[in-house]
Structures are given as C-alpha cells and as structure tokens.
Structure 1
Amino acid sequence: MNRKSLITISWISFFIGIFIFVFFSKEKTPQMLLLNIFIAGLYTFVLSLGNGFVNETLSKRFSWVEETRKRVIFGVIATILVNVVLVFFCNYVNFIIFQKQDFSGFFEGNMGFNNWFTINVALLISAILHAKSFMEEWKKSTRKEVVEQKLIAKSANAQFESLKNQLDPHFLFNSLNVLSALIDENPDQAQRFTASMSKIYRYVLEQKDKELVTVEEELDFAKTYCNLLKTRFEDSVNFEFQVDEKEKKSFVVPLSLQLLLENCIKHNFATAQKPLNIRIYSENGYLLIENNLMAREQVKESAGIGLSNIVQRYSLLTKQNVFIEKSKDFFRVKIPILTQKITAMTTQPSHESIAYDRASKRVKELKGFYGNLISYCLVIPFLIFVNLYTSPNYYWFWWPMLGWGIGVASHALQVFGIGRNWEEKQIRKILEKENLKK
C-alpha cells in the first residue's frame, strides 16, 4: 500500500473517531476522543490493509482479464474468510480488552450484532476495493487493445497500399516492352496493340485501388489482355477459360490474373510448333491458372513482383493460402475465391476486433454486477439499522435482504455461471464457419 493510501486511511480514521465521539460517546473528555480515534484507526487500518493485501495478492495470481472467473471465486472466498477473522480480532480488542466486557457474550447480544454488522461493512469495503481493482485492470487492457488495433490497421493498410502501388508501373513497364518488340516485328500490330493497351490501362487505373473485384470483372479483363498477347504471339500461345458461372459473382484480388498470365509468358518459351497452352478454370473454391511447362533460361534475375505480390495481398485479406504447384509437365497457381467482399482494414485484425468487442461487452456486464453488489452492501446494512432503531421487536429487514440477495445471486450466475461457457462455444463455432466460407 502506497503513502497516499495510508494518508487517506489516516484521515478516514480521524473523522470516524470524531463522528463516534460526537454522536455516540457518553463521556465528552479528551481521553475518550483519543480512544475513539484510536479504535476507529484500529478498524480502518486493519480492515483496509488486510483487504488491500488480499486484493493485491489475488491480482498478482489471477488476472482480471484472462482469469476473471477464478479471480472472482477466489476473491469471494478469501474476502469472506479474511474479513471474518479481522472483524473478530478488532472487536475482541475493542470490547474485551478496552471495554473490559465478558468474553462469554462475545457471539451474542450487542456484541454478536456488532460482529455481524461490522462484517457487512468490511465486506462492503472489500467489494469496493475489488471493483476498483477490476476497473483499473480492464481500463489498461482496453487501452492496450485500442492501441494494438490502430497499429495493426495502420500497418496492414500501409502494406496493402504499397503492394497495390507496385501494379501500376509494373504493368506499364511490361506492356511497353511488348510494344517495343512489336514495333520492330509488325508496326500494324503495334498500332492496334497501343489502342488496346490504352483501354486495358484504364482498367488497371480503375481497379488497382480496390481490395477486391468480382471474378467476372477479372475474367473480362484477362480475356482482353489475352487478346493483346495473341496479337504479339499469334499461334504460339493458346488460352482456355473454364470458370463456373456460380463463381463469377465471388471475389478475387484485382489484376491477379494479369500478373499470373504475364508470369506464364515471361518464364516460358513458345513457338507455333510447341505452343504455350494456358488454362484458367475454377475448382473447389479456387481459381487456377495452369500452363504446360516449357521453361526458358533467365537472362537476368526476375524482379519477383508477380507471384509475391499476389501472395502478400491475399495474406492481408484472408487466412486462405495461395498454392503454387510445379511438376516436370506443368506449372499451376491456385488463388482463393472469396465469398464476401472485405477490406484490408477489417480482415487482418478481425479476430482482435471481435475479442475487443466481446471484452467491452464483458466489462459492461461486470460493471453492472459489481454496481448491484455494492448497492446491496450499502442499502441492506442501512435498512437493518433503521429496523433495529425504529422497531427492534420485529425484524422486517430479512425480507428485502433475502429478496435482493436472491437477485444478486441470480445476477452472479448470469455473469459468471456455466451458461456463459456454452454461449462462448457457440460464438466460436459460428466464427469458425464464417472463416471457412472465406
């Protein structure tokens, strides 16, 4: 316990001692004033230090965030046991040692009532300390979650933008290389290629800033791009499209087919006698680009933008992998077809966002429970005091104490009960099914 807490406890002891001296003490002497302040300090320091020690010890052993249920269960058990012992100790010092009363009446009559009443007050103090500890721990946790979410989102967005920005100059550079070759080989084809390239480049500019496009849009663009390649290579390259109609409304990353088609051309030689056959088809939720393998020697090292760009962009959008298969006869790339249109900002931290939302909801539930418990601990002792002061022969306080107590117990079961495990399991199952769909 820090210095500030000790000063606070000292002031509380001082004012409680004065209050008891003014309103309840029969002897108005300086000695009695000091005795009341001392006894108030005895109760305040013993109960506060004892409960503070229990609270700090439990918080070190069990986290409010990670082990909430254990923290509450052990907290309730330890708090009740410790407070009963501390209250009996303080009352023994007060009544038996200072007031010289007979120990035989310690658990009955006025001393018995004082024991019971003081235990309730001590439990109230402990509940406040535990609630304060709980709120501080969850505030730290939520602040940390918010900071982590911002960092993840910024990092993912920056990385995604960087990858997309590779596409524009990359496509332009490769298209100009093709055009340069055509100018020498066939000027008329070069002119038609230039006109077609302007249309395709417009698509590149429109789509490169999007996270996802429909399979249908990407196929239409790929067919136009294949016509360009046909213009240059003529019968040396053949293209085949076999994509299910039901897959065309789903989504892929933009310009993925263009990059993969370009990859096929760049790494394979093709002649009219031995044409390069490129097939684009769908299978089991994937879009496949396959070509017969006729690898050419690389004069210079590849920049590696094509495949790595696609793999990285998909990794930022989904947990589904891009598969690359190679044999002596073929080379195949499988890219996932996504069923939901998502964005880089929401897909990468999806599990963290869900956890954060659930944590926020959990905080509200626990705040409601502790508010209910603290209210109960405050109001019931007051009602007992009013009952015993106004009508000591009829104990009506049992009715609100039992009725409200059942409500508090029901609230505790709702917040910490067995049903919550079932609910969390169902939520987990639903989330896993949604992830599999992607």
Structure 2
Amino acid sequence: MQPQRAEQLDDRWIRLGGIAFFVLLAGYTYKAYEDPFSLATAKLLLESIVNSTATWEADRWILVRFQRKYPSLPQARKRLLLAIPLCWLVNVLLDWLVMWVVNITHFRPPYSEAVFLQTITSGLIIAFLITGIQEAVYYFARLLQAERETEQLKKENLQTQLDSLKQQVNPHFLFNSLNTLSYLIGEDAEKAEEFLDEMCKVYRYLLRNNENELTNLATELQFIRSYFHLLKTRYGDNLHLNLAIEPCYEQSLLPSLTLQLLVENAVKHNVIHKDYPLTVHISTQPNGQLLVKNNLQKKVQNVSSNQVGLSNIASKFNLLKQPEIEVTQTETEFMVSVPLIQPSH
C-alpha cells in the first residue's frame, strides 16, 4: 500500500521569493542597476519575470508529479534522480525559447550562440536550486503530517484503553467477576486463585497498554488467553476459543487490544447457550493476515452498537498506512481479517 500523500503546504511566498530572486539576479548580471528607469531595463525585467516564472512553475510541476508517484520520504533520492534531469532539460529549452523569441522579435539585443550554450550549465544549477527548495517544502509538509497522524493514533489508542477499561470495570462486569470469584472460593479454592490470577493479568495489561502503540502477536495472544479465561469461567462449555497460530508470525505487530475488541464483539452480539455454544477461531493465514471468526447466532434483542470497536481498529490500521481490515458475514459465520505488520529490523 502506498503511503498517503502529504498535504500540500501553501508555498506561494516561497515561489514568489524564488522568482523575485531570479529576476534580481538577471538584473544584476546585465547591470540594470546602472540605468534602472530606462526602457531597456523595463524590457529586461519583463523578460526575466516571464522566464523565471515559467522555469520555476515548470520545475515545481515536474517535481510534484514525482512526489505523487513516489510520496514517501525514503523515496526522495529516487524522486530527485528522476526530476532533476527532466527539470534541467526543461530549463534549457525554456531559456532557448525565450532567447529565440527575443532574437526574432528584436525585443532586446540579440543573444549570441555562446549565451545559448551557457544556459546548459545555468539550467542545471537552477534545476538543483528549485527542486532542492521545493523538496524541502515537501519534506516539511510530510513531517507535519506524520506528527499529526502520530497524535491522532495516540488519541485512538487512548480511546481504546478507555473503552476497554469501561468494559472491564463497569459494575455489571465487575459484579459478575466478583460473584464468580466468590462462588469459586467456596467451591474450589484452587480455581478461585487461578481465576484471580488471570483477572489481575487482564487489568495489568489494560493499565500498561499505553506504553506502546503496537504490540507483537505473541503478547496479544498471552493477554487474550487471560481475558478468555474470565469469560470461560462465566460461560463454561458454552464458549470456546481455538487458536491456530504459525510460530513465524508471533513477532508480527498489530495495534494493542485488537484481539480483545474482536473477541468482545463476538461475545457481545451472539447468543451463548448450551444449545448454542459460541466458538471463536483465531488463526494466521499464509498471506500474512490474522483471521478472527465466530459462528453467527445473533441475539434477538437489540444490542447497542455502532461498530465502534471495528471502526476503531480500522482507523488505527489506516493511520499506520496498512491495508484495510476485511469484514465478512455469511449466514453462519462472522469473520474479520486484519493485516499483520512486519517488524522493522
């Protein structure tokens, strides 16, 4: 997936400043300051304004095309290697065109063949200058965009934490968990201790989740086992979890709490009964995707949902410049496929 394009900064003042610089440079080269109010100076300035504007805008247009084709910052070298020779050629051709028009119209003293040849060198220098300045503007725009996206991703992660903590510490969930714990203490002290241990792991993970925006699949699976243990204690044999994870994908990355949101979504919206057991399958796919699916047996009563969990996950992957998640629903199954992110080395 190609990185998103950077927002175009308003570079009008930079362009105007650059064009003005070239006009002043031309005036200094031809010593227009010796007779600043003459007709010859006015013609020189007019020619310089036309030539400088056409050159700058043409070079900028070329570079913007390559920025859109190769938008990431690591591709800067490739952009410049392609853009500079093309800008050089355009600059020389524009200079020759302007000088040819001047010569045939006698607008100003004619240019000699030597001046035509000099534009080959000056055209390259100008190409370096213009593309360098415009690339710097683009680089700054990308940095600003990356900073904004990082802040947005942090907000998404904080919202995920808040939603997850609300889900875990709401009175209903807490009452059920403590009620289950109270029952186990009286019936099976060993199971009660195990339940309490898993409950502590769940809360510890949730409270520490803000340390990293991404976590590896192995860590997420370790958490989801603890989380599922709490659910399993409540629902018994009516709820099942099947894991089919290839070891080679365990260090792959994904946004924290992705699995918790998907499992919670399955439990929240489906009937869980001895006659209708719910099974959640989590598996890795050969194409590098993580598939979470469950048998579909929707609750009859309306459950308040705006697909916030799925939207939250989709938003995170979008901010991380990853392929979109895929949601599929059939008559018997509900499936969500999310891309696993390969760690950078």
What TM-score does the superposition give when structure 2 sets the normalisation length? 0.69
Provide the secondary structure at the position in 1 that maps to 2:299.
Answer: coil
1:175 maps onto 2:168 in alignment: yes
1:309 maps onto 2:316 in alignment: no
1:203-256: CA deviation from partner (whole Å, max 9, x where unpaired): 223333323222111112111211111111111101111111221122222211
2:182 corresponding residue in structure 1: 187
1:382-417: CA deviation from partner (whole Å, max 9, x where unpaired): xxxxxxxxxxxxxxxxxxxxxxxxxxxxxxxxxxxx
Letter in 1 for 2:265: N
Paired with 1:335 and 1:238, the residues of 2 have a C-alpha distance of 21
Paired with 1:201 and 1:332, the residues of 2 have a C-alpha distance of 27
Q: 1:151 aligns with which of 137, 144, 155?
A: 144
1:75 corresponding residue in structure 2: 94
Paired with 1:252 and 1:89, the residues of 2 have a C-alpha distance of 66
1:120 corresponding residue in structure 2: 114
Change (3 A) 1:133 1:216: closer
Paired with 2:294 and 2:326, the residues of 1 have a C-alpha distance of 15
Paired with 1:90 and 1:195, the residues of 2 have a C-alpha distance of 92
Letter in 1 for 2:222: D
Change (3 A) 1:282 1:122: closer
Q: Conserved in 2, the CA contact under 8 Å of 1:237 and 1:277?
A: yes
Provide the secondary structure at the position in 2 that maps to 1:66.
Answer: helix
1:248 corresponding residue in structure 2: 250
Q: Conserved in 2, the CA contact under 8 Å of 1:324 and 1:332?
A: yes
1:199 corresponding residue in structure 2: 201
Q: 1:222 aligns with which of 221, 224, 233?
A: 224
1:365 corresponding residue in structure 2: none
Q: Conserved in 1, the CA contact under 8 Å of 2:96 and 2:116?
A: no
Q: Post-superposition shift, 1:318?
A: 2.7
Letter in 2 for 1:250: S
Letter in 2 for 1:248: E
State, as a whole percentage, how many aligned pairs show the same letter.
Answer: 24
Paired with 1:280 and 1:335, the residues of 2 have a C-alpha distance of 11
Paired with 1:152 and 1:273, the residues of 2 have a C-alpha distance of 52
Provide the secondary structure at the position in 2 that maps to 1:166.
Answer: helix
Q: Conserved in 2, the CA contact under 8 Å of 1:322 and 1:336?
A: yes
Paired with 2:43 and 2:119, the residues of 1 have a C-alpha distance of 8
Q: Post-superposition shift, 1:262?
A: 0.8
1:55 corresponding residue in structure 2: 51
Change (3 A) 1:314 1:5: closer
2:66 corresponding residue in structure 1: none
- Which structure 1 segments of 5+ residues have no match? 16-36, 92-114, 343-438
Paired with 1:149 and 1:57, the residues of 2 have a C-alpha distance of 26
Q: 1:234 aligns with which of 236, 242, 253?
A: 236
Question: Which has the larger Rg?
Answer: 1
1:288 maps onto 2:284 in alignment: no
Q: Conserved in 2, the CA contact under 8 Å of 1:189 and 1:232?
A: no
Letter in 2 for 1:331: F
Paired with 1:121 and 1:218, the residues of 2 have a C-alpha distance of 69
Change (3 A) 1:14 1:281: closer
Q: Conserved in 2, the CA contact under 8 Å of 1:79 and 1:126?
A: no
Change (3 A) 1:213 1:133: closer
Paired with 1:49 and 1:122, the residues of 2 have a C-alpha distance of 19
Letter in 2 for 1:272: K
Provide the secondary structure at the position in 2 that maps to 1:150.
Answer: helix
Paired with 2:154 and 2:200, the residues of 1 have a C-alpha distance of 24
Q: Post-superposition shift, 1:152?
A: 1.1
Count of aligned pairs: 290
User: What's the C-alpha RMSD, in Å, of the aligned pairs?
Assistant: 4.0
Change (3 A) 1:90 1:300: closer
Provide the secondary structure at the position in 1 that maps to 2:248.
Answer: helix
Change (3 A) 1:80 1:331: same
2:321 corresponding residue in structure 1: 318
Alignment map for 1:359-374 (pairs within 5 Å)? none
Change (3 A) 1:168 1:50: closer
Q: Conserved in 2, the CA contact under 8 Å of 1:164 and 1:209?
A: no
Change (3 A) 1:251 1:223: same
Provide the secondary structure at the position in 2 that maps to 1:289.
Answer: strand
Q: Conserved in 2, the CA contact under 8 Å of 1:288 and 1:332?
A: yes
Q: Conserved in 2, the CA contact under 8 Å of 1:293 and 1:330?
A: yes
Q: 1:211 aligns with which of 199, 213, 227?
A: 213
Q: Post-superposition shift, 1:319?
A: 3.3
Paired with 2:108 and 2:344, the residues of 1 have a C-alpha distance of 67
- More helix as a share of residues: 1
Q: Post-superposition shift, 1:156?
A: 0.6
